[in-house]
Amino acid sequence: MARPPRKTSVAPPVERISDPVSDLSALPPRVAAMREKILEAVEARDIEALRPAIEWNETPPIFARGRTGPKGFAQALDILRERSFDGRGDEILAILKAIFEEPFVVATRGPVVTYVWPAFAMKQRPDPSPDERLAMWRCARFANLGAFNDIGLPLIERVGIGADGTWHYFWSG
């Protein structure tokens, strides 16, 4: 009689976070291209200009933790407008600009590599300098100004782009 296979528990891969990186030439070409597509929309000052970056993916990015992503590309911009304090998307564009002005980190979990902006969203010190604290506030939504993380810092918006150039998410946490 054959024995059933032995059950073993496998721990999920540990996430490794690099030190902050400011050198944009270190980005893979497709990651750099997605960052540029997003920044082109920021420079256009029109939330509709984000459409090419969003539609470059197979599926739309996720725009809020715990919330299902848009069912299709047509809803993606509506979600961003909803999340923007002004209802037009201007706040979202300003936050994206602030996010991409900061250094990034490389988050690796098993074989999955994600480039995350701003670096301080993933690696926070409990005692940021006044300049670092100001940069954090620039990366927070107006709606979250009274909300703080577990070490008393603002809920910072972050962007994650996969090593293949896929825009995975834009959310706070």
Could you read off the pLDDT of 141-154 as tens digits, one per residue? 887 777 777 766 77
- pTM of structure: 0.86
Q: Does the bond joining 118 to the residue before it have cis omega, within 30 degrees of 0?
A: yes
Predicted local confidence at residue 96, as pLDDT: 97
Predicted local confidence at residue 133, as pLDDT: 85
* Contacts of residue 113, Cβ cutoff 8 Å, sequence gap at least 6: 106, 107, 162, 163
Tell how far CA 21 is from the center of its chain: 15
* Contacts of residue 167, Cβ cutoff 8 Å, sequence gap at least 6: 34, 38, 53, 54, 56, 57, 61, 159, 160, 161
CA gap 91, 8 in Å, rounded: 48
Predicted local confidence at residue 66, as pLDDT: 67
Angle between the N-to-C axes of helices 130-138 and 90-100, in degrees from 0 to 180, rounded to the nearest 10: 140
The rounded average pLDDT for each run of 10 residues, N- to C-terminus, in the chain (173 residues) is 65 86 97 97 94 88 71 82 88 96 95 95 82 89 74 82 95 81
Predicted local confidence at residue 68, as pLDDT: 58
CB 168 within 8 A of CB 160: yes
Predicted local confidence at residue 8, as pLDDT: 63
Q: How far is CA 4 from CA 8, 10, 11, 45, 94, in A?
A: 12, 18, 21, 61, 57
